[in-house]
Amino acid sequence: MGNQVRKIADIQESAWTQASGKIAAGLGIFLVAACLIYAARFAFVGLPRVLEIVQIVLGLVALAGVGLLGAAVYTGIEARRLPGIGFQCPYCDNSNKFDGIPTETFDCDFCNRTVHFDGGVPVPVRIVSCPFCQTDHRVAVSIQRYVCDHCNRPLELAAQPRSRPSGAAGSGPEKLAQNFDVLLVSVDRRHEIEIALKIQNLMVVNLPDARRLMATASTTSPLVVTHSVPQRKAETIRRQLQDVGATATLRPSNETTPTSPRLN
């Protein structure tokens, strides 16, 4: 999620985590102060004036502990009352609550699938039927590979053309614009887990399959992790892969190279 828009569930969890620490601190302060007040009655026998001052000070400390505890509980309760803005998951139709309108990729709290965004807009979803078990799946139109949730077989999906804005077919640089594939060339073995998690998200496969696909990548037979996306998005994905320790490159989508290996 972005820095400005967060899930209400995450806000509530964070609020209660902080509140729990304050509740424990407030309760601890109160109990210690109460024990010292009791012990002072025996420690200052014959010194009524000193005993009175000590009890007043410790009483204020105990009151501060109660105040801290009460403030923490109030903060946690208020967090649970946050209304939030609902965003319906395109895969399971359940509503995820946010403190604003989401514009970046997030994982659904109910089905745990990744809801993709492109330029702040949700990527449309299509219905894909598995040819092996005839199970229907909802899949983002940008996804080229998907593993059937029912029979666990990998599916190669045909790319769907995206609608172009009016006037996009004009002359000049925009007419020459083309899409690119992102190719994984090599992997830093010290960061295999991070790279596999990134590939899992990009290719929408499970983690074991992502690791098997990752192992096939080489300079002579690169792995296509994203197919036919605008150059700016392709550059972003390439940088993300490099940030986690992979080496990636771009290839114009109309060029032909050996295809990525299929999963067995």
117 and 104 Cβ atoms separated by less than 8 Å: yes
pTM: 0.46
Does 255 score more than 80 pLDDT? no
Per-residue pLDDT of 15-53, as tens digits, reads 888 889 999 999 999 999 999 998 988 888 888 888 899
| CA pair distance 164, 180, nearest whole angstrom | 16
Does 242 score more than 90 pLDDT? no
Per-residue pLDDT of 51-101, as tens digits, reads 899 989 999 999 999 999 999 999 888 888 888 888 999 989 899 999 888
Per-residue pLDDT of 170-186, as tens digits, reads 444 433 457 888 889 89
pLDDT score for 83: 82
Does 192 score more than 70 pLDDT? yes
Alpha helices (H) in the chain, listed in sequence order: 8-43, 48-80, 173-176, 192-203, 207-215, 231-243
Per-residue pLDDT of 195-212, as tens digits, reads 988 888 888 888 888 888
